[in-house]
Amino acid sequence: MYTIENGKNKLTEKQRENLEVHSIADIMFEILEDRLQHKILVGGKFSLETLLMTTEVSSPFLGLPIEIIYQVLDKLDKLQILYSLCNVSPRLNMIIGTYYRFKTLTVLSRKWKRIEYKELQQLVNAFQIIPTLVTLDLTGNKLGAREAQCLADALKTNTTLTTLYLGSNGIGYRGATYLADALETNKALTTLHLGSNDIGPSGALYLSYALEKNKTLTALHLESNGIGSDGAQHLADELENNKTLTTLDVSSNSIERGAFQIVYGNLLNVTNNGKTRES
Protein backbone atom coordinates (compact mmCIF):
# COMPACT_ATOMS: atom_id res chain seq x y z
CA MET A 1 0.00 0.00 0.00
CA TYR A 2 1.35 3.44 -0.89
CA THR A 3 1.77 5.97 1.88
CA ILE A 4 3.19 9.46 1.97
CA GLU A 5 5.09 9.55 5.22
CA ASN A 6 8.60 10.75 6.03
CA GLY A 7 9.42 10.89 2.37
CA LYS A 8 9.06 7.10 2.02
CA ASN A 9 7.31 5.45 -0.94
CA LYS A 10 6.74 8.78 -2.60
CA LEU A 11 4.06 8.76 -5.24
CA THR A 12 4.47 10.26 -8.64
CA GLU A 13 1.99 12.98 -9.53
CA LYS A 14 0.20 10.59 -11.92
CA GLN A 15 -0.08 7.87 -9.25
CA ARG A 16 -1.47 10.36 -6.78
CA GLU A 17 -4.06 11.52 -9.33
CA ASN A 18 -5.08 7.92 -10.04
CA LEU A 19 -5.55 7.19 -6.33
CA GLU A 20 -7.63 10.33 -5.92
CA VAL A 21 -9.82 9.36 -8.87
CA HIS A 22 -10.38 5.84 -7.53
CA SER A 23 -11.06 7.19 -4.05
CA ILE A 24 -13.69 9.67 -5.21
CA ALA A 25 -15.32 7.12 -7.51
CA ASP A 26 -15.51 4.59 -4.68
CA ILE A 27 -17.01 7.19 -2.37
CA MET A 28 -19.65 8.19 -4.92
CA PHE A 29 -20.59 4.58 -5.56
CA GLU A 30 -20.81 3.92 -1.82
CA ILE A 31 -23.26 6.83 -1.59
CA LEU A 32 -25.37 5.31 -4.37
CA GLU A 33 -25.23 1.86 -2.82
CA ASP A 34 -26.03 3.16 0.65
CA ARG A 35 -29.12 5.02 -0.60
CA LEU A 36 -30.33 1.95 -2.48
CA GLN A 37 -30.05 -0.09 0.70
CA HIS A 38 -32.39 2.43 2.29
CA LYS A 39 -34.98 1.34 -0.28
CA ILE A 40 -35.59 4.40 -2.37
CA LEU A 41 -38.55 3.09 -4.35
CA VAL A 42 -40.52 4.11 -7.41
CA GLY A 43 -43.55 2.01 -8.19
CA GLY A 44 -42.17 -0.70 -5.93
CA LYS A 45 -38.79 -0.81 -7.69
CA PHE A 46 -35.35 0.58 -6.88
CA SER A 47 -34.55 3.60 -9.01
CA LEU A 48 -31.08 5.05 -9.44
CA GLU A 49 -32.70 7.80 -11.50
CA THR A 50 -34.74 8.99 -8.53
CA LEU A 51 -31.66 8.70 -6.36
CA LEU A 52 -29.56 10.83 -8.68
CA MET A 53 -32.28 13.44 -8.94
CA THR A 54 -32.07 14.06 -5.19
CA THR A 55 -30.15 17.22 -4.29
CA GLU A 56 -27.90 15.31 -1.91
CA VAL A 57 -26.40 13.18 -4.68
CA SER A 58 -27.10 14.70 -8.09
CA SER A 59 -25.10 17.93 -7.82
CA PRO A 60 -21.77 16.39 -6.72
CA PHE A 61 -22.12 13.31 -8.94
CA LEU A 62 -23.10 15.06 -12.18
CA GLY A 63 -20.41 17.68 -11.69
CA LEU A 64 -17.57 15.16 -11.39
CA PRO A 65 -14.92 14.78 -14.11
CA ILE A 66 -15.81 12.27 -16.84
CA GLU A 67 -13.13 9.77 -15.84
CA ILE A 68 -14.58 9.54 -12.34
CA ILE A 69 -18.13 9.04 -13.60
CA TYR A 70 -16.78 6.31 -15.90
CA GLN A 71 -15.41 4.53 -12.85
CA VAL A 72 -18.74 4.78 -11.06
CA LEU A 73 -20.39 3.30 -14.18
CA ASP A 74 -17.85 0.46 -14.05
CA LYS A 75 -19.47 -0.64 -10.80
CA LEU A 76 -22.97 -0.86 -12.33
CA ASP A 77 -24.27 -3.41 -14.81
CA LYS A 78 -25.39 -2.27 -18.26
CA LEU A 79 -29.11 -2.53 -17.58
CA GLN A 80 -28.80 -0.43 -14.43
CA ILE A 81 -27.12 2.26 -16.48
CA LEU A 82 -29.62 2.08 -19.34
CA TYR A 83 -32.72 1.93 -17.16
CA SER A 84 -31.78 4.43 -14.49
CA LEU A 85 -29.23 6.93 -15.75
CA CYS A 86 -30.33 7.76 -19.30
CA ASN A 87 -31.91 11.22 -19.52
CA VAL A 88 -30.98 12.22 -15.99
CA SER A 89 -29.09 15.11 -17.57
CA PRO A 90 -27.76 16.03 -21.03
CA ARG A 91 -24.19 15.76 -19.76
CA LEU A 92 -24.74 12.27 -18.38
CA ASN A 93 -26.34 11.23 -21.69
CA MET A 94 -23.19 12.34 -23.49
CA ILE A 95 -20.98 10.44 -21.06
CA ILE A 96 -23.05 7.25 -21.38
CA GLY A 97 -22.95 7.53 -25.16
CA THR A 98 -19.14 7.57 -25.11
CA TYR A 99 -18.69 5.02 -22.32
CA TYR A 100 -16.45 2.19 -23.54
CA ARG A 101 -18.88 -0.63 -22.61
CA PHE A 102 -21.47 0.82 -24.98
CA LYS A 103 -19.16 1.64 -27.89
CA THR A 104 -19.55 -1.93 -29.16
CA LEU A 105 -23.15 -2.55 -28.08
CA THR A 106 -25.04 -3.35 -31.29
CA VAL A 107 -27.81 -5.71 -30.08
CA LEU A 108 -30.10 -5.28 -27.08
CA SER A 109 -32.45 -8.18 -26.35
CA ARG A 110 -35.27 -8.03 -23.80
CA LYS A 111 -37.51 -10.70 -25.27
CA TRP A 112 -40.06 -12.59 -23.16
CA LYS A 113 -39.48 -10.32 -20.15
CA ARG A 114 -42.98 -8.84 -19.84
CA ILE A 115 -41.49 -5.38 -19.54
CA GLU A 116 -43.69 -2.56 -18.32
CA TYR A 117 -44.31 0.83 -19.93
CA LYS A 118 -41.81 2.64 -17.70
CA GLU A 119 -39.08 0.16 -18.61
CA LEU A 120 -39.91 0.54 -22.28
CA GLN A 121 -39.52 4.30 -22.02
CA GLN A 122 -36.08 3.79 -20.52
CA LEU A 123 -35.12 1.41 -23.33
CA VAL A 124 -36.26 3.98 -25.87
CA ASN A 125 -34.08 6.57 -24.16
CA ALA A 126 -31.17 4.14 -24.39
CA PHE A 127 -31.36 3.50 -28.12
CA GLN A 128 -31.62 7.22 -28.72
CA ILE A 129 -28.39 7.82 -26.81
CA ILE A 130 -26.23 4.87 -27.90
CA PRO A 131 -25.31 5.33 -31.57
CA THR A 132 -23.96 1.79 -32.04
CA LEU A 133 -27.26 0.08 -31.16
CA VAL A 134 -28.77 -1.27 -34.39
CA THR A 135 -30.98 -4.17 -33.21
CA LEU A 136 -33.66 -4.13 -30.50
CA ASP A 137 -35.53 -7.36 -29.68
CA LEU A 138 -38.75 -6.94 -27.68
CA THR A 139 -40.43 -10.19 -28.74
CA GLY A 140 -43.10 -11.59 -26.43
CA ASN A 141 -43.55 -8.75 -23.94
CA LYS A 142 -47.33 -8.23 -24.15
CA LEU A 143 -46.79 -4.72 -25.47
CA GLY A 144 -49.97 -2.95 -26.51
CA ALA A 145 -50.92 0.08 -28.59
CA ARG A 146 -49.61 2.49 -25.96
CA GLU A 147 -46.19 0.88 -26.02
CA ALA A 148 -46.22 0.80 -29.83
CA GLN A 149 -46.88 4.54 -29.83
CA CYS A 150 -43.90 5.08 -27.52
CA LEU A 151 -41.64 3.19 -29.91
CA ALA A 152 -43.12 4.87 -32.97
CA ASP A 153 -42.49 8.35 -31.55
CA ALA A 154 -38.81 7.46 -31.13
CA LEU A 155 -38.53 5.85 -34.57
CA LYS A 156 -39.68 9.04 -36.26
CA THR A 157 -36.35 10.69 -35.49
CA ASN A 158 -34.03 7.76 -34.82
CA THR A 159 -31.27 7.32 -37.41
CA THR A 160 -29.41 4.26 -36.11
CA LEU A 161 -31.79 1.38 -35.32
CA THR A 162 -32.08 -0.95 -38.34
CA THR A 163 -33.84 -4.04 -36.95
CA LEU A 164 -36.81 -4.16 -34.57
CA TYR A 165 -38.40 -7.36 -33.27
CA LEU A 166 -41.94 -6.87 -31.94
CA GLY A 167 -43.44 -10.28 -32.65
CA SER A 168 -45.79 -12.03 -30.22
CA ASN A 169 -46.98 -8.92 -28.45
CA GLY A 170 -50.46 -7.40 -28.70
CA ILE A 171 -50.17 -4.06 -30.43
CA GLY A 172 -53.39 -4.59 -32.46
CA TYR A 173 -54.43 -2.43 -35.39
CA ARG A 174 -54.00 0.78 -33.38
CA GLY A 175 -50.40 -0.07 -32.61
CA ALA A 176 -49.86 -0.83 -36.28
CA THR A 177 -51.17 2.63 -37.22
CA TYR A 178 -48.60 4.29 -34.92
CA LEU A 179 -45.76 2.26 -36.41
CA ALA A 180 -47.00 2.89 -39.94
CA ASP A 181 -46.95 6.61 -39.27
CA ALA A 182 -43.33 6.35 -38.07
CA LEU A 183 -42.31 4.33 -41.14
CA GLU A 184 -43.39 7.17 -43.40
CA THR A 185 -40.52 9.32 -42.11
CA ASN A 186 -38.01 6.82 -40.69
CA LYS A 187 -34.95 6.38 -42.91
CA ALA A 188 -32.99 3.80 -40.92
CA LEU A 189 -35.16 0.76 -40.20
CA THR A 190 -34.66 -2.08 -42.69
CA THR A 191 -36.28 -5.04 -40.91
CA LEU A 192 -39.51 -5.06 -38.90
CA HIS A 193 -40.96 -8.16 -37.24
CA LEU A 194 -44.65 -7.82 -36.32
CA GLY A 195 -45.83 -11.43 -36.41
CA SER A 196 -48.62 -12.51 -34.02
CA ASN A 197 -49.85 -9.06 -33.06
CA ASP A 198 -53.50 -9.25 -34.15
CA ILE A 199 -53.23 -6.20 -36.40
CA GLY A 200 -56.04 -7.45 -38.68
CA PRO A 201 -56.91 -6.04 -42.11
CA SER A 202 -57.09 -2.48 -40.74
CA GLY A 203 -53.51 -2.70 -39.48
CA ALA A 204 -52.39 -4.07 -42.83
CA LEU A 205 -54.13 -1.15 -44.54
CA TYR A 206 -52.18 1.45 -42.56
CA LEU A 207 -48.91 -0.41 -43.09
CA SER A 208 -49.63 -0.47 -46.82
CA TYR A 209 -49.86 3.34 -46.77
CA ALA A 210 -46.43 3.41 -45.13
CA LEU A 211 -44.99 1.12 -47.81
CA GLU A 212 -46.03 3.66 -50.41
CA LYS A 213 -43.77 6.32 -48.87
CA ASN A 214 -41.03 4.32 -47.11
CA LYS A 215 -37.87 3.80 -49.17
CA THR A 216 -35.74 1.99 -46.59
CA LEU A 217 -37.63 -1.07 -45.25
CA THR A 218 -36.51 -4.27 -47.00
CA ALA A 219 -38.17 -6.94 -44.81
CA LEU A 220 -41.63 -6.92 -43.21
CA HIS A 221 -42.88 -9.93 -41.22
CA LEU A 222 -46.65 -10.05 -40.70
CA GLU A 223 -47.30 -13.75 -40.17
CA SER A 224 -50.24 -14.84 -38.00
CA ASN A 225 -51.96 -11.47 -37.80
CA GLY A 226 -55.43 -12.24 -39.13
CA ILE A 227 -55.07 -9.80 -41.99
CA GLY A 228 -57.19 -12.01 -44.25
CA SER A 229 -57.83 -11.46 -47.95
CA ASP A 230 -58.67 -7.79 -47.49
CA GLY A 231 -55.40 -7.08 -45.71
CA ALA A 232 -53.42 -8.94 -48.35
CA GLN A 233 -55.14 -6.89 -51.05
CA HIS A 234 -54.21 -3.64 -49.29
CA LEU A 235 -50.56 -4.66 -49.18
CA ALA A 236 -50.55 -5.88 -52.77
CA ASP A 237 -51.98 -2.60 -54.05
CA GLU A 238 -49.05 -0.64 -52.63
CA LEU A 239 -46.38 -3.18 -53.59
CA GLU A 240 -46.85 -2.18 -57.21
CA ASN A 241 -45.08 1.10 -56.43
CA ASN A 242 -42.66 -0.06 -53.72
CA LYS A 243 -39.23 -0.94 -55.12
CA THR A 244 -37.43 -1.44 -51.82
CA LEU A 245 -39.18 -4.28 -49.97
CA THR A 246 -37.66 -7.67 -50.80
CA THR A 247 -39.12 -9.84 -48.04
CA LEU A 248 -42.77 -9.98 -47.00
CA ASP A 249 -44.11 -12.74 -44.78
CA VAL A 250 -47.92 -12.99 -44.79
CA SER A 251 -48.16 -16.67 -43.92
CA SER A 252 -50.85 -18.03 -41.59
CA ASN A 253 -53.22 -15.14 -42.21
CA SER A 254 -56.36 -16.91 -43.43
CA ILE A 255 -56.00 -15.57 -46.96
CA GLU A 256 -58.51 -17.37 -49.17
CA ARG A 257 -57.11 -19.23 -52.14
CA GLY A 258 -59.24 -17.30 -54.61
CA ALA A 259 -58.38 -13.95 -53.12
CA PHE A 260 -54.74 -14.87 -52.96
CA GLN A 261 -54.70 -15.67 -56.66
CA ILE A 262 -55.96 -12.15 -57.36
CA VAL A 263 -53.19 -10.48 -55.36
CA TYR A 264 -50.50 -13.04 -56.16
CA GLY A 265 -49.19 -11.10 -59.13
CA ASN A 266 -48.42 -8.03 -57.07
CA LEU A 267 -46.94 -10.04 -54.24
CA LEU A 268 -44.52 -11.55 -56.75
CA ASN A 269 -42.84 -8.15 -56.86
CA VAL A 270 -41.43 -9.23 -53.52
CA THR A 271 -38.60 -11.75 -53.64
CA ASN A 272 -39.74 -13.80 -50.64
CA ASN A 273 -43.39 -13.28 -49.81
CA GLY A 274 -43.59 -16.04 -47.19
CA LYS A 275 -46.75 -17.41 -48.80
CA THR A 276 -45.65 -20.90 -49.79
CA ARG A 277 -48.85 -22.71 -48.93
CA GLU A 278 -52.49 -21.98 -48.30
CA SER A 279 -52.82 -20.55 -44.80
pLDDT at residue 198, rounded to an integer = 98
pLDDT tops 90 at residue 154: yes
Give per-residue pLDDT as tens, 80-116. Answer: 888 878 887 888 889 999 999 999 999 999 999 999 9
- What is the full DSSP assignment across 18-59? HHHHHHHHHHHHHHHHHHHHTT-EETTEE-HHHHHHSHHHHH
- In this prediction the pTM is 0.79
Range(s) for CATH 3.80.10.10 in the chain? 105-279
The C-alpha atoms of residue 171 and residue 145 are separated, in whole angstroms, by 5
Give per-residue pLDDT as tens, 185-233. Answer: 999 999 999 999 999 999 999 999 999 999 999 999 999 999 999 999 8
pLDDT at residue 261, rounded to an integer = 65
Give per-residue pLDDT as tens, 156-187. Answer: 999 999 999 999 999 999 999 999 999 999 99
pLDDT at residue 25, rounded to an integer = 59
What fold characterizes domain 105-279?
Answer: 3.80.10
Q: Tell me which of 63 and 116 has the higher pLDDT.
A: 116
pLDDT at residue 9, rounded to an integer = 47
For all residues of the chain together, what is the average pLDDT?
Answer: 80
Cα-to-chain-centroid distance, residue 168? 16
pLDDT at residue 101, rounded to an integer = 93
The C-alpha atoms of residue 268 and residue 265 are separated, in whole angstroms, by 5
